[in-house]
Copies of this chain bind each other. A is one copy, B any other.
Amino acid sequence: MAEKKADQFSAAVNCPIRQVLDRFGDKWSILVVELLSHKGRLRFSEIGQHIGDISQKMLTVTLRSLESDGLILREIFPEIPPRVEYELTPLGMSLVPQIESLTNWGKEHLETILHNRKTYELRQKKKITY
């Protein structure tokens, strides 16, 4: 099935959804954007504390790629101990409404989804045990 040529429609191999997902489908990027959109400007350690369970390494990686894409700005203060602050750029801010709209959908429907999953499990068990 692989190797087939995709058509001109949206699921095609190089469509923009896939590029967006490739970039933001990771575990932390969207979370960091969301956080900065609420808090404005934060330093490295503050972001880590707010998220709560991100490792230093992943925080660095995530911030670097967001910076590289131009979604956040990184400002270094030449002090000791070092201080580095991050904030959204206008481009980063332009992503926020989209994230919020996804989040709102989640808030609205996740309960239903969880319920559906349970129902589905039960249906499966019945069929197998039968």
What residues make up the interface of A, taking CB atoms closer than 8 Å to B?
A: 1-7, 9-13, 15-21, 23, 25-27, 30-32, 34-35, 38-39, 45, 48-56, 59, 67-71, 91, 94-95, 97-99, 101-103, 105-107, 109-110, 112-113, 116-117, 120-121
| Closest chain B CB from A32 CB (angstroms) | 8
Report copies per complex: 2
| Closest chain B CB from A10 CB (angstroms) | 5
Residue in B11, B27, B67 whose beta carbon sits within 8 Å of that of A34 in the complex: B11
| Closest chain B CB from A117 CB (angstroms) | 5
Contacts of A17 in B (CB 8 A): 30-31, 34, 99, 102-103, 106
